[in-house]
Structure 1
Amino acid sequence: MKHFLLALLLLLPAPRLRAQPTATLTGAVREAGSHRPVPFASVAVPGTATGATADADGHFSLPLPAGSKELTVSAVGYTSRRFPVPAAAGPVVLELTAAPAALTEVVVTGVSRATEVRRSPVPIATLSRREMSLNANTNVIDAAVRGIPGLSAVTTGPNVSKPFIRGLGYNRVLTLYNGLRQEGQQWGDEHGVEVDGYDIERVEVVKGPASLLYGSDAVAGVVNLLPALPSGAEGQLHGEALTEYQSNNGLIGNSLGLNYQRNGLQTSFRASHRLARDYRNRVDGLVYNTGFRELTLTGMVGVNKAWGSSHWYLTLYDNQQEIPDGSRDSLSRHFTRQVAESGLDDIKNRPLVTDSELRAYTIGPLHQRIRHYRVFTKTRVQLGGGELHLLLGAQQNSREEFNHPTAPTQAGLALRLTTYTYDVRYHLPTWNGLEISLGSNGMGQLNRHQNATDFPISDYDLLDAGGFLLLKKPLGKLELSGGLRADLRQVTWNDFYVAPNPATGFDGAARPGIPGAALQFPAFDRRYHGLSASAGASYAATERLTLRANLARGYRAPNIPEIGSNGLDPGAHIVYLGNRDFQPEFSWQQDVGVLWHQASLDASVEVFHNYVQNFIYQGRLLDANGQPVVIVPGNTTYQFQQSAAQLYGLEASLNWRPAALPWLVLTNSLAYVNGQNASASLREQQGGAARYLPLIPPLRGRAEVRATLPARTRRFASTYVRTTADGSARQTRFYALDNTETATAGYALLGLGAGTTWTTRAGRPLVQVTVQIDNVFDTAYQAHLNRLKYFEYYAASPNGRTGIYNPGRNVGLKLVVPF
């Protein structure tokens, strides 16, 4: 598959469409009032892949496809604006108003057409690459969590983060890469998203049911990771070289990006490599088996013309990720390593891990390897006065977990998931202000075990399709929107047998009738269907005050482990048991928001309530005596259960840029969610231990003070210093049944950062430098959604601390050389 996709990229024919007339728009972006340059502003044509980045003096050059009518201009610290394309030739001056936030930003995720953030009744948040680059992140989801209230992540070490929105995650949050749904065993805990974080230009997050546009698996929301677009003058090769280092785990990252555009032809390429050893904290020291090695390649070629645009993307992702298990010596608390198979393994007498092993960049024998390949095309065509959008994609995810110490090349888990995706939608011509969009999307999947010894799920086939209708109508200050959707999903698998394999000495997939063959997964064939709906409104009460509300019904079909699991997931150290009789989840969520926007102050409060019917969650399996069931020694056993649930909470933000101190920006955010089991019988178990839902993040707040220094010399631009404070309250509302979760102490983390751009005398950027120190005081803490918190083999420890702690102090240095 890998070689086929590489060949496909190399053999893609250059488009031979007759070039449409284009013009090059030149000009400068200035700050309104002071007329000072706005360095590195983004100038783009909405709804297309055409864009450019201004230089340190605010100058830009943008190729305009014929028929372009509008521009969007944005920059960090300024309110985004739309401008009509000037009729006359010659340089233009585009002015932006200083603002600490961007409530007027244009988004495309979760709405029928490009919409301003504050006019969307569905809560949507955005994060730019500039904001993400200010932090020392180990993956793109962690970067988004830092900047978007209501977004959190379940983590397993520094490079494994699963996005959660308002307390819901896994298959309830749909992750997109440039609009293509990410399909890679999302039900698993021990791997993240297969995307190059260096290539992401922007993150858009829909907070709330987005089933209307995307169908099942978007019942909690959507995270859309948007890659960078080609930028710069036509006919010239542009790009950047990036390198970074992080002290905590010795992370070394390098990336090279190239892009070129001329006469409507656009192409880009990026290669990135990251390498890290075990991370460190003050309690555990170096945490054994948390290193990783990651390689990504991304290519794009396309055309952007008056008739529309068409782009082809190809990505290749290869990650070797170590698997921690938390085993230690009971007295010294030094980490130990497994050297025998589970039947002969004595956890209390494993050998100690040496210092050289802890400090080495070598990937240990117990690790996983994830390879993800995707090829897809996005096409936009002007048709019949409207616009037709078409996305077609194919992707393959190969995931292997090597967990046999006596046979390090034998994978315990080996799954290959192949997915074919389509998405077609048509935006009808606007009629009396009414915007109508209709479309359909879906996918076909084949998941197959390869040469494996552990089988937590069966092989399966899945077919999914849905159709939708969306409406939007402005009525003066009031804007109404809503729609309907119907979905159908078919899941099937045949009888799946497992038998001892004499060649390997382990179990393996087998045909019926082979001696010792056991039927682990009886055949299954079921069809799920659901209706989704949404109705909302935004009201511009004044130029500064916007009110909005939305009511949405979301739908999610049970995922494969929930209905069919019956085996060990070795990386998670959990035996999962499913329930074949589960019904789909349906949610009713209400959102109400108040947004205030002015030149020096932005503020918002979003309140939500979500009631979920047939909510599916994991619970420890107990025997008749109330004792935990152990099917595989050293691993816990969980069985999926179903009940009603409700979640409610709020997100608030306050961002201030004092008019008397235009160089100073203060940003503050707060997020709270409470998730409760709505079943009265379950809530009463063990004195209310099952009252709360699992994996609910605690109250979390973040504050930042950033000062952008005036340019005293033309050789430096965008020089800033910043201080951040991240705080999480103590979490006492947790799923305590069978000790599945425990209370988590609160903590506060201080961060310091600085950066600048060194330019030529002509103002062209030479090097961008960013320095960030996270967890300045090396605070020992455990995040409530950190799975390593529960990696403990003893009831007590000599130092009174159990489980594995989050990373300690980290100093990050990043250098970017644009050209």
Structure 2
Amino acid sequence: MKLFLNMLLLLAISNLYSQNSIQGTVTDANTNESLAFVNIYFSDIEKGTTSDENGNFIFENLPSGNHNIVFSIIGYKTRSFQITIPTTEKISISLMPSAIEMESIIISTPFHKLQSENVMKVEQKTVKDLKANGATTLSEGITNIAGVESVTTGVSIGKPVIRGLSSNRVLVYTQGVRLENQQFGDEHGLGINDAGIESVEIIKGPASLLYGSDALGGVLYLNPERFASNNSSSGDLNLNYFSNTNGYNTNAGYKASENNFKFIFRGSLAEHADYKTNDYRVTNTRFREQDFKAGVGYQGDTFKTEFRYNVNNSKLGIAEDIGIQSTNKTPLLPYQNVTNHVLSSKSTVFFNNSKLDINLGFLYNDRKEFEEHHEHEDEEDEEDHEEEDDILEAALHMKLKTANYDVKYSLPQLGKFETIVGVQGMNQVNTNYGEEQLIPDATTNDFGVLATSHIHFKKVDIQLGARYDNRNIDVVSGIQRDFNSFNGAFGVKTNLFNNITARVNLATGFRAPNLSELTSDGSHEGTNRYEIGNPDLTSEQNFQTDVALEFKNEHVELFVNGFYNTINNYIFLSPNGDFVDDDPVFLYLQDDAKLYGGEIGFHLHPHPLDWLHLETSFETVTGKQDNNSYLPLIPANSLTNVIRLEFEKPWLKNGYAFVKLRSTFRQNNVSAFETTTNGYNLLSAGLGGSFSVFKNELAITVSGSNLTNKTYINHLSRLKPDGIFNMGRNINVGLSYSL
């Protein structure tokens, strides 16, 4: 690998002297007036600028070849097209006024296009928008996306659920590398703070073609905040207060770019007390999180590279019952102390008409769990817990070290064909240090090879590809397993009529059984069950059909998504009727399964009331085994209605206000060891905007969730078996000051 990288650097250096530049002007398509502050961005080069007061812009030090350039600004329809560099022609681009929100480039798919140009439907939301709705954590925020839910343990721990699939069936990417942090456990959260994350993307459906094993159910792709534009700098301070948990989340960041070099850093701290329902506080749902992100990059005309580092330490209380009622923020026993390190590098070498992308990552997850001891049971000992890490030995202590690589070569475009070939792999070592052992010491090695093409016809776009993967698991106890899989995908996008777009995607995916499913033999802390693994489990293999219709004009948007997903050898837990130390025994079994459902959405912003937005979305999913038994942890059907206002004043920028009613229906379709869940309605509202304070911008947001203080239990709450309610009324106040 070192020799390979040295060869790439030589190739880059040999091309450093091909200096290319372009310039142009942006105007309004109706009035022909110049447009200032238009965002102009090369998606594959990751280089951007803005137009000046006269609508002019210039780029320098650009690599030769065909590159996508994107023009976007609020109030106008986003435009994207391909440009061949070098060129001596000046670019003249006109943008059409539109009330539709401007589009962004989709990063999680390989060809980096706007969603309107993508064959695969991908949902994208900015973290800013998710926070504006009052989300306490990132895992809570993504539940605002249709088809996405979260398995939660209180407020601090949440795992994404995409169309009824979760845990190892949903792959999470951060900083361009796959996140590996013992994510098989229900009570293991993301371990990622939303500070320093610009947007999230959701692929709903098998993405094994692009990402390999564990992307059988979909992908949650977290995009880090961008570096500063060339020869610029900025900083910001952010503070959020949450009334329900008496908690806060604060972060500060700074970034600068000069002479092709750039850097960025951001630090954050969050603390929350036990969350409150209408009747009580839920003991030991308190938590503390510290997070630091940093990055440095270099961008030349034929070579760009960046290194990013994130360390996150979380001390998370594990709720067991309703006990001590206080607003202290130091977790009681039992609790987790988890540290995640993510180091990544992302490099691109540009050739005349092709490019080579190299993503490398190293992740180090240090997970400790501390259990209850008799000498700490008295309430008066609560204040002593701050020093317990130094006193107690961790009952469970695991270290997971993961190195991965992702190398893709974008071939020169041949007529209508864009093609990418690549290899991906991973080496992972799990080691136990605690007195208890949840899963044994083991080494996992992955290797995959893939090829995918995007074919552009006049009225139809087609994307197809194939992939082969091998996973080897070597357990210290003597178990050694190999899993192999071939997967493919085919998709087509076409405009049926002027404003109607249709997408059909067919894809297969797979998931090799994880260490817990293969080797468990003991009580699982926090789940109150004794789990026994099955070393003879085979890989899950699925086939999903996804159909999406979308109507969009200047004032109306309507989408209908439907899917049917068949999974062979679906792995699930089932009680066998035995007990060990008062814990019921659960076995890992397999059966064929199917999931089906979809999402419907409507968005109206009527003329001439372009400031008014009426939004409605409905989502449904059903999951069954072949014997017609229902699958566990399937979200209840839900309907969301939002009224949103957007306004501008001479003294106010980006002003907005909203009212949202989310109706979750009763869940009667439950597995053998689940109980049904009643339906409920949650009312939320908020407003916000930006002001000029001391010549800098101050953004203020105020939002409230569960405003009627409804007592309810979400079907995906792990506290549900104990009859513990979800969070009650919460008021969130956010301040963001740009320096």
Equivalent in the alignment of 1:669 = 617
What secondary structure is seen at the aligned counterpart in 1 of 2:491?
A: strand
Equivalent in the alignment of 2:668 = 732
Unaligned ranges ≥5, structure 2:
1-11, 376-387
The separation in 2 between residues aligned to 1:243 and 1:664, in whole angstroms, is 29
What secondary structure is seen at the aligned counterpart in 2 of 1:107?
A: coil
Cα deviations across residues 313-360 of structure 1 (Å, max 9, x unaligned)?
A: 11111010111112xxxxxxxx33xxxxxxxxxxxxxxxx2x4xx211
Which of 270, 287, 295 is equivalent to 1:300?
Answer: 295
Equivalent in the alignment of 2:141 = 143
Q: Determine if contact 1:242/1:256 at 8 Å carries over to the other structure.
A: yes
Q: Determine if contact 2:26/2:34 at 8 Å carries over to the other structure.
A: no
The separation in 1 between residues aligned to 2:27 and 2:303, in whole angstroms, is 27
Structure 1 residues 535-574: aligned runs within 5 Å: 535-574=490-529
Q: Are 1:648 and 2:562 matched, yes or no?
A: no
Q: 1:53 to 1:786 in 2, by over 3 A?
A: farther
What secondary structure is seen at the aligned counterpart in 1 of 2:141?
A: helix
Which of 315, 331, 350 is equivalent to 1:363?
Answer: 331
Cα deviations across residues 150-187 of structure 1 (Å, max 9, x unaligned)?
A: 11110111121101111001101000003200000111
What secondary structure is seen at the aligned counterpart in 2 of 1:754?
A: strand
Q: Determine if contact 1:31/1:98 at 8 Å carries over to the other structure.
A: no
Q: Are 1:241 and 2:232 matched, yes or no?
A: no
Equivalent in the alignment of 1:265 = 261
Equivalent in the alignment of 1:312 = 307
Cα deviations across residues 471-520 of structure 1 (Å, max 9, x unaligned)?
A: 2212211111111111101001122xxxxxxxxxxxxxxxxxxxxxxxxx
The separation in 2 between residues aligned to 1:67 and 1:807, in whole angstroms, is 52
Equivalent in the alignment of 2:676 = 743
TM-score by length of 1: 0.82
The separation in 1 between residues aligned to 2:22 and 2:295, in whole angstroms, is 22
Q: Determine if contact 1:416/1:448 at 8 Å carries over to the other structure.
A: yes
What secondary structure is seen at the aligned counterpart in 2 of 1:106?
A: coil
Compute the displacement of 1:51 (Å).
3.5
The separation in 1 between residues aligned to 2:82 and 2:641, in whole angstroms, is 36
Structure 1 residues 344-743: aligned runs within 5 Å: 353=324, 355=325, 358-383=326-351, 385-406=353-374, 409-450=392-433, 452-495=434-477, 523-622=478-577, 629-633=578-582, 635-678=583-626, 680=627, 683=628, 691-711=629-649, 713=650, 715-735=651-671, 737=672, 740-743=673-676
The separation in 1 between residues aligned to 2:218 and 2:30, in whole angstroms, is 36
Compute the displacement of 1:137 (Å).
1.6
Cα deviations across residues 274-313 of structure 1 (Å, max 9, x unaligned)?
A: 1111100113x11100011101111111112211311111
Equivalent in the alignment of 1:799 = none
Equivalent in the alignment of 1:502 = none
Query: Which amino acid counterpart does residue 195 of structure 1 have in structure 2?
Result: I
Q: 1:427 to 1:589 in 2, by over 3 A?
A: same
Query: Which amino acid counterpart does residue 662 of structure 2 have in structure 1?
Result: D
| Residue range with higher mean Cα deviation, 764-773 or 406-415 | 406-415
What secondary structure is seen at the aligned counterpart in 1 of 2:128?
A: helix
Q: Are 1:228 and 2:148 matched, yes or no?
A: no
Q: Determine if contact 1:653/1:668 at 8 Å carries over to the other structure.
A: yes
Q: 1:448 to 1:244 in 2, by over 3 A?
A: same
Equivalent in the alignment of 1:287 = 282
Compute the displacement of 1:115 (Å).
2.5
Q: Are 1:212 and 2:209 matched, yes or no?
A: yes
Q: Determine if contact 2:548/2:561 at 8 Å carries over to the other structure.
A: yes
Q: Determine if contact 2:518/2:536 at 8 Å carries over to the other structure.
A: yes
Query: Which amino acid counterpart does residue 581 of structure 2 have in structure 1?
Result: V
Q: 1:34 to 1:289 in 2, by over 3 A?
A: farther
TM-score by length of 2: 0.90
Q: 1:598 to 1:261 in 2, by over 3 A?
A: same
Q: Determine if contact 1:469/1:484 at 8 Å carries over to the other structure.
A: yes
The separation in 2 between residues aligned to 1:37 and 1:783, in whole angstroms, is 48
Q: Determine if contact 1:240/1:816 at 8 Å carries over to the other structure.
A: yes
The separation in 1 between residues aligned to 2:519 and 2:185, in whole angstroms, is 14
Q: Determine if contact 1:38/1:75 at 8 Å carries over to the other structure.
A: no
Compute the displacement of 1:221 (Å).
0.6
Equivalent in the alignment of 1:156 = 153
The separation in 2 between residues aligned to 1:474 and 1:543, in whole angstroms, is 18
What secondary structure is seen at the aligned counterpart in 2 of 1:696?
A: coil
Identity, in percent, stands at 27
Q: 1:396 to 1:58 in 2, by over 3 A?
A: farther
| Residue range with higher mean Cα deviation, 604-613 or 565-574 | 565-574
Matched residues, number: 708
| Residue range with higher mean Cα deviation, 805-814 or 60-69 | 60-69
Which of 707, 718, 729 is equivalent to 1:776?
Answer: 707
The separation in 1 between residues aligned to 2:305 and 2:590, in whole angstroms, is 44
The separation in 2 between residues aligned to 1:24 and 1:304, in whole angstroms, is 17
Cα deviations across residues 530-553 of structure 1 (Å, max 9, x unaligned)?
A: 111111111122331111111111
Compute the displacement of 1:105 (Å).
4.1
What secondary structure is seen at the aligned counterpart in 2 of 1:145?
A: helix
Structure 1 or 2: more strand by fraction: 2
Q: CA RMSD in A?
A: 2.8
Compute the displacement of 1:586 (Å).
0.5
Query: Which amino acid counterpart does residue 127 of structure 1 have in structure 2?
Result: K
Query: Which amino acid counterpart does residue 700 of structure 1 have in structure 2?
Result: S
The separation in 1 between residues aligned to 2:58 and 2:590, in whole angstroms, is 54
Unaligned ranges ≥5, structure 1:
1-14, 327-334, 337-352, 496-522, 623-628, 684-690, 793-802
Q: Determine if contact 1:52/1:60 at 8 Å carries over to the other structure.
A: no
Query: Which amino acid counterpart does residue 462 of structure 1 have in structure 2?
Result: T
The separation in 2 between residues aligned to 1:259 and 1:19, in whole angstroms, is 28
Q: Are 1:756 and 2:689 matched, yes or no?
A: yes
Equivalent in the alignment of 2:106 = 107
Which of 167, 174, 179 is equivalent to 2:176?
Answer: 179
The separation in 2 between residues aligned to 1:638 and 1:478, in whole angstroms, is 50
